[in-house]
Amino acid sequence: MELDAMPTSFKVVIPQFGPAETLEIVEAELAAPADNEVQVEGMFASINPIDVKTRAGLGWAAQSNKDNLPWTPGYDLVGKVLAVGDSVSGFSIGDHVVGFIGFPLEAGAYAQRLNVVSQELLKVPNSITFEAAAALPLAGLTAMQAVQKASIEPGQSVLILGGAGGVGHIAVQLAVATGADVYTTCGATNLDYMATLGATAINYHVAPASQQLQGIDVLIDLIGGDVALDAMKCLKSGSRVITIPTITADKIKAEAENIGVTAEGMLVEPNTEQLTTLLNMVGDGSLKIDIQTVFSMADVVKAHQQVETGHTRGKVLLDLSH
Ligand SMILES: NC(=O)c1ccc[n+]([C@@H]2O[C@H](COP(=O)([O-])OP(=O)(O)OC[C@H]3O[C@@H](n4cnc5c(N)ncnc54)[C@H](OP(=O)(O)O)[C@@H]3O)[C@@H](O)[C@H]2O)c1
């Protein structure tokens, strides 16, 4: 391991819960990596809705971290290895790595330099851009785990609410790959985009999903709340719901019981095998990643405001180099 004594790193912190403008960039010393850690120069992080909700003080991650501020958000990291701990094998200085890091409580990816447990990292394959790799961990694993949980059979009809977002655009492609007929809801500007991914798109501004679709076998809900409750009216009996937003999961499960369908919530789990599969799918062209905007770290407030609109297509990234 080779490192200067105690380097410093710029990182974004949530000093207290509040609007996007509360985010601050601070400089802090960084210890040498522990035996099982790799020190990484951050290149890209992605912004997920959970980062934004936590910053606002909402949801389970905010609840768990309320006594732990200032706290650096970010679970999706791509960077370059600067140093490796003494017991780490498989990584060398200069390797480009990607990881779903510190989930759920530590996070920390919005940083120019950080120490990461080596088991959370993979090398970025040469066949994929650093930006696409950074977009994948949390959103890609959520999409893959949701589609697997849904046990979709070829020929079944699947409705995905919110198909144009970070999780949605990946879930649509994975569901199409199962051989299902995939329907998805989006606004007018995303109708054509959804068609390019192989889904039949429904404009939710024209009428609620329940007035446009019937006889659905599987609902993958990425929106939650009243939108999901309405979409449950599209289901045939015996169908399944996978509801992803944790805040309204109990409400959706209660309604499922009322109408005689099964519903499950889920919390994404780190899984390096699945992440490897996703990276390879992007590399061989069978999965397309859409990146709406890359903001510089200095513009982290704007990046949070964009995700907070709830209308991002694909993913928003932070360029950690400036
Ligand atoms: N449980 C877990 O482990 C887990 C993991 C990941 C994400 N999540 C949650 O899952 C949700 C989706 O995450 P994400 O990263 O995909 O969010 P996102 O990228 O912010 O989603 C944005 C998309 O939502 C669409 N949208 C907004 N309102 C809609 C509506 N009423 N009907 C249909 N589409 C609508 C927008 O499309 P238009 O612009 O066309 O409206 C936009 O493309 C979030 O609540 C997130 O916190 C949970």
10-residue averages of pLDDT along the chain (322 residues):
72 98 97 98 98 96 95 98 98 98 96 98 98 98 98 97 98 98 98 98 98 98 98 96 96 97 98 98 98 98 98 98 94
pLDDT at site 6: 80
Distance CA 299, CA 195 (A): 32
The CA-based dihedral angle spanning residues 163, 23, 137, 133, taken in that order and rounded to the nearest 10 degrees: 100
Cβ of 137 below 6 Å from ligand 1: no
Beta bridge pairs of residue 221: 161, 243
Q: Is 314 helix (H, G, I), strand (E, B) or coil?
A: coil
Expressed in percent and rounded to 5, the helix, strand and coil fractions of the chain are 35, 30, 35
Q: In the chain, where does DSSP find H-type helix?
A: 49-55, 59-65, 130-135, 137-149, 168-177, 191-196, 225-231, 249-259, 272-283, 300-308
pLDDT at site 285: 98
pLDDT at site 1: 52
Cβ of 246 below 6 Å from ligand 1: yes
Domain boundaries of the chain, sorted by first residue: 8-136+289-319, 142-265
Cβ of 55 below 6 Å from ligand 1: no
Cβ of 23 below 6 Å from ligand 1: no
Q: How many H-runs (helices) and E-runs (strands) does the chain carry?
A: 10, 15
pLDDT at site 241: 98
**Residue bearing the CA closest to ligand 1, atom 35:** 162
Distance CA 308, CA 317 (A): 14
Which atom of ligand 1 lies closest to the CA of 247?
45
Phi, psi of 50, deg, nearest 5: -65, -35
Fold (topology level) of 142-265:
Rossmann fold (3.40.50)
pLDDT at site 5: 64
Same fold, 8-136+289-319 and 142-265: no
**Of 91, 69, 145, 85, residue with least CA distance to 99:** 91
Measured between alpha carbons, how far apart are the two ends of the chain, in Å? 26
pLDDT at site 7: 87
Cβ of 313 below 6 Å from ligand 1: yes
Cβ of 279 below 6 Å from ligand 1: no
Residue with tokens 């910053």: 55
Mutate to test the pocket of ligand 1, among 169, 185, 186, 220 (most ligand atoms within 8 A of CB): 186
pLDDT at site 159: 98
Looking at the domain that runs over 8-136+289-319, which CATH code has it been given?
3.90.180.10
Listing from the earlier edge strand, what are the strands of the sheet with 216-221?
200-203, 181-186, 157-161, 216-221, 235-243, 262-265
